[in-house]
Amino acid sequence: MSTAVNDVHEHEHEHPEGFWGVLGRWLFTTNHKDIGTLYLWLSFIMFFVGGAMALVIRAELFQPGARIVSPEFFNQMTTLHGLIMVFGVVMPAMVGLANWQIPMMIGAPDMALPRLNNWSFWILPFAFSLLMSTFFMSGPAPDFGWTFYAPLSTTYGPKSTDFMIFSIHLMGLSSIMGAINVIATIFNMRAPGMTLMKMPIFVWSWLVTAFLLLGVMPVLAGAVTMMLADRHFGTSFFNAAGGGDPILFQHVFWFFGHPEVYILIMPAFGVISEVVSTFSRKKIFGYRFMIYAIVAIALLSFIVWAHHMFTAGIPLVTELFFMYATMLVAVPTGVKVFNWVATIFKGSISFEAPMLFAIAFLFLFTMGGFSGLMLSIVPADYQYQDTYFVVAHFHYVLIPGSIFAIMAAIYYWLPKWTGHMYNETMAKWHFWLTVISINITFFPMHFLGLAGMPRRIPDYALQFTDFNRIATIGAFIFGFSQLLFLINVVRTVRGHGPRVGAKVWEGAHGLEWTLPSPPPYHSFTVPPEIKN
C-alpha cells in the first residue's frame, strides 16, 4: 500500500482529458472528495462576494453623512450579506468538510447516497444565481434585512422577493438531502467494530447537525411558502388586516433561526476537537461528555427561539421561560470549552496555523458567548435590542466560531487532501492579520451598541464617528488579508509546497495522530477492523 497522500485522490474512474471531459467529470461526479471540493470552492467564492457586500456597508459607515451608496442599496447590502454568509459560506463549507472527511473517518468507501450527494451540491449554484439575479431586475433587490420580517417582506417587499423565496427553497432542499446522506452514511457504513462511541468527535458533531437540519429546514420552507401565499394568493398568515399575525412570522422564523445558529457552529466544535487533540498530542479530554454536550446543546436549541423576540410583546412568563432556557445552553457549552482547555493543559503543544486558529476560537467564541448571556437577560435586552451590541455579539460567535474553525480545518486537512504542505509563514501572517482585524472591527461595536447606535442604518449621529471609523478600517484589513488565504490554498492545490507523507503532521512536525482523531489516510475498499 502506497503511503503517498496522493492516494487520497485516486478515484474509481480514470480522469477524462480535455475541456468537456473535465467538465463532465465535475458535473457528474459521485466521488465524495470531488463533491467536498466543489462545496468548499463555492463557499470560498461566496465568502468574497458576501465580504465585498460587508465592505460596502462599512465604507458607507466610515463617516456620518456619507453617500457612497444610496440608503436603498445599503439596505440591499445588509440583506444579501446576511443571507449569503449564512447559507452561502458557512453551511456549504461545513458540508464540504463533511463530504471529504466523514467517509474516511468511519472507514467508508464513499457517502451512502452518492448521486443524491451530487444533486445536493449542484442545486446550490442555481440557488445563489437566483438570489444574486435580484440585483439586475427592474425593481430593487430584497431590502428588508436578512431575517425578512413580515409584513415588510410580504406586503411591501419588492417583486424580486419572490426570487429570494425560491432561492431559499432550493438551499433548504440541498440541506435536507445533504443531512439525509450524512445520517445514512454514519449509521450504515461504519467500519466493523466502530461503534458510535468510537467515532471521531467531528463525525458526532455532524450527525447531530444533520438531525437539526432535518428538524428545522422544513420550518423555514413553511415560512417562505406562507410569505409567497400572502404575496400572491390572497392569504393573510402575517397580515393583521386579514386576521393574521406578523408576530407569527417571527415565531416561525426563529424556530428555524435559532437551531440554525447551532447548525453553523456544531461542526466547528468537531473541527476544534480534532485540531486541539492533534496539536496538544493528547486524546481529547472527556470524550463522552463532549458528545453529551453536543446532544444537549442541540436539544436545548429548540426551546430558546423567542429570546430573539423579547421586545415583540410576548407575555412576561414566556419571556422568563426563554431567558432561563437560553442561560441553560451556557452549561453544555461551558463543558466543551473546559474540555478543550483541559486537553491543551500540560500537552506538548505546537503552534502551527490550525492550532492558532483553534486557540483564537476558544478565546473569541467564549467572549461572544458571554455577550450572548447578557442578551438573554430580559430587562437588559430591552436596551440592547436592535443596536450594534447585537451585531458585535453574533459576529463574535460566527466569525471566530464558524469561520475560524473552517480556516483551521482547511489548514489542518489541506496537506492530506493535496499531498503538499501549505506555506506556514503565509498562513501565520494570515492568522495574525485576521485575528487582529476581527477585534478592531467588532470590539468597538459593543460600545456603539451600549451607547445606543441602532443597527441597519446608513447614517448615524456625530458622537458615533470614531468607533465606526475604527471598525471600517478593521473590516478592510480583514477583507484584504483573506487574499493571503486564497493565494496559499491555490499554491498548495497546484503542488507548490513540499510533499508530505501519509501521516502529515507526524512526518512534518513530529506530531502523532491520536484517537479518536483524525482519519485513516485513504478511503477503504475493504474496511479495516477497528480496535480499542
Output 506 or 201, whichever has higher pLDDT: 201
What's the pLDDT at 224?
Answer: 97
Backbone angles phi, psi at 261, to 5 degrees: -60, -40
Q: Please state which of the ranges 95-104, 227-236, 277-286 shows the lowest mean pLDDT.
A: 277-286
Residue closest to 37 by CA, chosen among 316, 428, 414: 414
Cell for 50? 458576501
Q: For the chain, what are the domain ranges?
A: 18-514
Altogether, the residues listed in the chain come to a count of 532
- In the numeric block, which cell numbers belong to residue 39? 462545496
Write the burial class of residue 154 (CB in 10 Å: 0-12 exposed, 13-18 middle, 19+ buried): buried
Q: What is the pLDDT of residue 169?
A: 97
Residue 2 is predicted with a pLDDT of: 35
Higher pLDDT, 509 or 300: 300
Closest CA to 446 of 377, 378, 374, 382: 374
Q: Which CATH class is domain 18-514?
A: mainly alpha
Question: Residue 139 pLDDT more than 50?
Answer: yes
What one-character-per-residue DSSP string does 386-444 give?
A: TBHHHHHHHHHHHIIIIIHHHHHHHHHHHHHHHSB---HHHHHHHHHHHHHHHHHHHHH
- Letter for the amino acid at 488? N
Confidence of residue 497 (pLDDT cuts 50, 70, 90): confident
- With a CB cutoff of 8 Å and minimum separation 6, the contacts of 464 are 64, 448, 451, 453
Q: What phi and psi values does residue 304 have, to the nearest 5 degrees?
A: -125, 5
Q: Which residues are catalytic?
A: 81, 110, 146, 174-175, 258, 260, 262, 273, 307-308, 333, 336, 455
- Give the integer Cα–Cα distance in Å for 242 and 252: 19
The model carries a pTM of 0.92
The cell for 54 is 460587508
CB atoms within 10 A of CB 219: 18
3-state helix, strand, coil in the chain (%, to 5): 70, 0, 25
Tell me the per-residue pLDDT of 171-181, one tens digit each, with 9 for 90 and over. 999 999 999 99
What confidence tens digit (pLDDT) does each residue in 301-344 have? Answer: 999 999 999 999 999 999 999 999 999 999 999 999 999 999 99
What backbone torsions phi and psi does residue 387 show, to the nearest 5 degrees?
-110, 175
Alpha-carbon distances, residue 392 vs 89, 301, 370, 445, 451 (angstroms): 19, 21, 12, 5, 13
Averaged pLDDT of the chain: 91
The whole-number average pLDDT for the span 91-105 is: 95
The reported pLDDT for the residue numbered 516 is: 41
Which cell goes with 424? 506556514
Segments in 61-160 forming alpha helices (H): 71-83, 91-106, 114-132
Residue 507 binned pLDDT confidence (cut-offs 50, 70, 90) = very low
Q: How many other CB atoms are found less than 10 A from the CB of residue 67?
A: 10
